[in-house]
């Protein structure tokens, strides 16, 4: 079976989505590790831990999205104007 342009495009998008999906594991670890020792919903420590976790999660997700777009730019056919 030959790899048509359409199949290549679909495979490339699938790979880009896999890159974003691969960030789920590290995000779960961040949540577990950041909130493990926090107790009480009204604790100022809890609020700080949640904020720190959200900052770390955002960094992981932004990196995954940037990596996915780099993959798309590198592997999709370029259209000449």
Task: End-to-end CA distance of the chain: give it in Å, rounded.
Answer: 31
Task: Give pLDDT, residue 80.
Answer: 65
Task: Give pLDDT, residue 74.
Answer: 94
Whole-angstrom distance, CA of residue 46 vs CA of residue 38: 6
Q: Which residues contact 12 (CB under 8 A, 6 or more apart)?
A: 71, 72, 75, 76
Q: Which residues contact 80 (CB under 8 A, 6 or more apart)?
A: none
The residues of the chain scoring below 50 in pLDDT are: 1
């Amino acid at each position: 079976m030959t790899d048509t342009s359409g199949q290549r495009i679909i495979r490339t998008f699938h790979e880009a989505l896999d890159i974003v999906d691969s960030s789920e594991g590290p995000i779960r670890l961040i949540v577990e590790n950041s909130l493990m020792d926090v107790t009480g919903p009204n604790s100022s420590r809890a609020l700080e831990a949640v904020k720190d976790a959200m900052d770390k999660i955002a960094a992981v997700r932004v990196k995954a999205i940037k990596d996915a777009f780099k993959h798309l730019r590198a592997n999709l056919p370029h259209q000449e104007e």
